[in-house]
Amino acid sequence: MTTAHDFSFTSIKGEPLPLRQFSGHPVLIVNVASKCGLTPQYEGLVSLYRDLKNKGLVVLGVPSNQFMGQEPGTNEEIETFCSMTFGVDFPLTAKTDVKSESAHPFYQWIKGELGQPAEPVWNFHKLLIGKDGKALQAFAPTIVPEAPEIRAAIDGAL
- Whole-number Å distance between alpha carbons of 143 and 134: 21
One of 6, 11, 25, 36 is an active-site residue; which one?
A: 36
Report the number of secondary-structure helices (H) and strands (E) in the chain.
4, 6
Query: Is 36 noted as a catalytic residue in this protein?
Result: yes
Q: Is 100 left (phi over 0), alpha (psi -120 to 50) or beta?
A: left
Query: Are 13 and 80 within 8 A, CB to CB?
Result: no
Nearest residue to 42 (alpha-carbon basis) of 14, 13, 72, 71: 71
Burial of 138 (0-12, 13-18, 19+ CB in 10 A): buried
Report the catalytic residues: 36
